[in-house]
């Protein structure tokens, strides 16, 4: 791990996004912004999985510090034939939460895939990316 003992504690926020492209068969089954399969409500389950993944990032990614997250939000919106998963993680700490936000988005996207694969394999996960990070040495905002 990187030694963070000399860093200042600051407010840190990271936002990430993953996009899941669904085929026509799956899109046709979305009702009231939710997709229900035999496994249950897809988007609600993906939100829970994303939050759980953010909290366990240090167990999944070598050299990540274990962090007591103060807030983790996962939102899912259906836009045309894409499911847009956006995450935001907050903490007051000596180290940032970019990996937690990215892990939450990735696992939420994988959960959508897992819950839908019995209906169709016409699913693609794309554009997992950091949208912004604030706090620490320098801020970053992805230009759209």
From the list 139, 136, 124, the residue with the least C-alpha distance to 11 is 136
What are the two backbone dihedrals, phi and then psi, of residue 51, each rounded to the nearest 5 degrees? -65, -45
- The answer to whether 97 and 90 are in contact (CB under 8 A) is yes
Can you tell me the distance from the alpha carbon of 98 to that of 100, in angstroms, rounded to the nearest whole number?
Answer: 5
The b-or-e profile of 70-107 (16+ CB within 10 A means b, else e) is eebbbebebeeebbbbbbbbbbebbbbbbbbbbbbbbb
Task: Dump pLDDT digits (tens) for 56-95.
Answer: 999 999 999 999 999 999 999 999 889 999 999 999 999 8
Q: What is the DSSP letter of 23?
A: P
99 three-class SS: helix
Q: Is 114 one of the catalytic residues?
A: yes
Token pair for residue 36? 């229900």
Residue 39's nearest CA partner among 124, 106, 128, 119 is 119
Gyration radius (Cα) of the chain, Å: 16
Looking at 3, 71, 114, 139, which residue is catalytic? Answer: 114
Q: Per CATH, which fold does 10-135 belong to?
A: Alpha-Beta Plaits (3.30.70)
Render pLDDT for 6-65 as a digit per residue (tens, 0 to 9). Answer: 888 999 999 999 999 999 888 888 887 888 989 999 999 999 999 999 999 999 999 999
pTM attached to this predicted model: 0.94
């Amino acid at each position: 791990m990187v030694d963070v003992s000399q860093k200042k504690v600051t407010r840190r926020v990271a936002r990430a996004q993953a996009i899941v492209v669904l085929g026509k068969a799956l899109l046709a089954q979305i009702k009231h912004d939710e997709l229900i399969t035999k496994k249950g409500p897809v988007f609600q389950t993906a939100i829970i999985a994303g939050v759980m993944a953010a909290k366990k990032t240090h167990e999944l990614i070598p050299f990540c510090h274990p962090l007591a997250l103060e807030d983790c939000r996962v939102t899912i919106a259906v836009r045309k034939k894409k499911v847009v998963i956006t995450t935001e993680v907050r903490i007051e700490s000596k180290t940032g939460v970019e990996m937690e936000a990215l892990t939450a988005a990735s696992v939420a996207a994988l959960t959508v895939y897992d819950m839908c694969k019995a209906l169709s394999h016409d699913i693609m996960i794309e554009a997992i990316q950091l949208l912004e990070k604030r706090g620490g040495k320098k801020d970053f905002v992805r230009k759209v």
